[in-house]
Amino acid sequence: MTEYIVHHLHHLRWPREDGFWTLNIDTLFFTFVLSALFCLLFIGTARRAKVENPGKLQSFIEMVVVFVDGLVKETFHGTSKLIAPLAVTIFGLVFLFNFLDMLPVDMLPAAGHAAGLKYLRIVPTADLSTTLGMALCVFLLIQYFGLKHKGPKVFFGEMVSAPFHAHGLGAKIALAPANLLLRLIEEAVRPVSLSLRLFGNMYAGELIFILIAVMTLDATLSHFSTYLLGFGQFIAGFLWTAFHILVITLQAFIFMMLSVVYLSMAAERH
């Protein structure tokens, strides 16, 4: 049982098993495939869009885009042509990454093993390197938006003048170290919270699916308890799958909304 769990939580790595420069090939592969699928889906639908009698796929994508655009308009009070497309992209990609967790835990790993792959993990967001990379991209965009909307003088001035405001040059200089420290902590917490929240939920969901799978691991058909465990496994798998659909959608929504909120805060003058 322990070997089964460890095997399903191990990445296909290159060039060696451990080390700082080791690449998780399976994470990179599924990230690239789903990103390409997202682009093909949205670009293809946009190019084939019809005003009259739109198809079901076009109607669904338009509904998602309109919903996200409305949230962005309510949250982001500045002017930017990047925020709404960025929010749609974040939500779509994170949802697709998360949705791979809905596939049976042994389906793609078994296919990979048949193809000669020793390990294969299929959920990119259950890999901390993916969620942290996405969060760092949002972090860099936050700094860019702050500089663009406020200018270097105001942007760097806020680092030493907030949250403790003071009147007089001497008081401002005295409070500058504390303000700078708190600002650095605030900026560092954002990518950490974004990445760990998404990673923790997806890793836990993947682990629960694996634990449900081991309920009948190495079971024999001749024993009565196998059928009881099989029935319990079916019920547990069904309930967790139904609940996990809400989890993967909610996590994509939270990652998107927090990104928009952070960008909105960066563009506003305090």
φ and ψ of 24, to 5 deg: -85, 95
Q: Is 16 a catalytic residue?
A: no
CA distances to 37, 115, 234 from 139, rounded to whole Å, are 25, 39, 42
| Tokens found for residue 171 | 């008081």
Residue in 13, 35, 80, 197 annotated catalytic? 197
Question: Among residues 48, 193, 225, 269, which one is catalytic?
Answer: 193
Q: Is 201 a catalytic residue?
A: yes
Residue 149 has which token pair? 């909307």
- Identify whether 59 is a catalytic site residue: no
- Give 240-243 contacts, CB < 8 A, sequence gap 24+: 240/208, 240/209, 240/212, 241/102
Residue among 179, 195, 201, 259 flagged as catalytic: 201
Please answer whether residues 269 and 162 qualify as being in contact, where contact means their C-beta atoms are separated by less than 8 angstroms: no
Return the bridge partners of 14, or none. 23
Q: How far is it, in rounded angstroms, from Cα 104 to Cα 109? A: 9
Cα 188-193-197 angle, rounded to 5 deg = 160
Tell me how far apart the alpha carbons of residues 140 and 157 are, in angstroms, rounded to a whole number. 19
| Cross-strand bridge partners of residue 23 | 14
Catalytic residues: 193, 197, 201
